[in-house]
């Protein structure tokens, strides 16, 4: 595991967390200011030193959380600063500097596992169709589809709950918003466009529930229902 430590402390990450001496992880040290001003990449976990200037540490956590980083941020904080902790700072976990090697290793591992799980949940897969929220891309048998923003949001809503029937009004709320004043005919038009882009083999994945709305059905299951 490669750890990036944002700290101004002499001795870097190993001085901040002495337990790192007993763990087999590579460590890269940069200052907190560098963490605020340069892109952060190439690491598995970011550790932010909050034992000194807590305000700057909080700003670094916020900056990192706004980045599409795909990696967890852990705030290392002294007991005296615990009362000031706020979730709005954007950290994923916190640690005391005196954490034991076992505790440190466990928390690092759980942060990695939790981040991987959360990332996996942002990509919905229905048969050969994959809807990836992070890249705003829909792939069919590995081939990306050229969708508009509304088309993407529509198929994302349907793919979030395969076989669930979405009424036209519900789709209008989820895709166009509560302040949209157009009629449900808009949903029908976008569904037709989506079916055309899915192609003849897959257009039936978006099934019409007559008088109600639409649902997304995996191709194999659709075939069984038709039989």
pLDDT class for 66, splitting at 50, 70, 90? low
DSSP 65: H
Same domain, 16 and 92: yes
Same domain, 113 and 191: no
pLDDT digits (tens, 9 = 90+) for 13-23: 999 999 999 99
Same domain, 75 and 138: no
193-224 exposure pattern, b = at least 16 Cβ within 10 A, e = fewer: ebbebbeeebebbbbeeeeebbbbbbeeebee
- Is the model's pTM score more than 0.85? no
Phi, psi for residue 27 in degrees, rounded to 5? -130, 135
Same domain, 95 and 133: no
pLDDT digits (tens, 9 = 90+) for 106-128: 999 888 888 776 655 566 788 88
pLDDT digits (tens, 9 = 90+) for 148-183: 999 999 999 999 888 999 999 899 888 888 667 677
Read off the CATH number of the domain in which 79 is found: 3.40.50.2300
**Which of the listed residues 54, 89, 121 is the one where a domain comes to its end?**
121
Same domain, 104 and 66: yes
Segments forming the whole domain that contains residue 179: 124-226
């Amino acid at each position: 595991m490669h750890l990036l430590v944002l700290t101004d402390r002499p001795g870097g990450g190993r001085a901040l967390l002495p337990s790192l001496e007993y763990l087999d992880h590579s460590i890269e040290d940069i200052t907190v200011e560098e963490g605020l001003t340069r892109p952060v990449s190439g690491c598995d976990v970011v550790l932010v030193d909050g034992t000194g200037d807590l305000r700057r540490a909080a700003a670094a956590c916020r900056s990192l959380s706004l980045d599409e980083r795909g990696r967890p941020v852990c705030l290392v904080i002294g007991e005296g600063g615990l009362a000031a902790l706020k979730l709005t700072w954007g950290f994923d976990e916190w640690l005391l500097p005196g954490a034991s090697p076992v505790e440190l290793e466990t928390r690092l591992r759980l942060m990695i596992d939790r981040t991987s799980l959360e990332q996996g949940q942002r990509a919905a897969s229905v048969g050969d169709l994959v809807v990836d929220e992070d890249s705003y891309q829909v792939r069919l048998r590995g081939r990306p589809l050229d969708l508009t923003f509304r088309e993407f949001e529509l198929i994302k809503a349907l793919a979030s709950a395969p076989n669930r029937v979405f009424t036209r009004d519900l789709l209008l709320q989820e895709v166009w918003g509560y302040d949209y004043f157009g009629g449900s005919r808009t949903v029908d038009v976008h569904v037709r466009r989506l079916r055309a882009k899915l192609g003849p083999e897959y257009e039936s994945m978006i099934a019409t529930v007559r008088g109600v709305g639409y649902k997304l059905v995996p191709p194999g299951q659709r075939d069984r229902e038709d039989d």
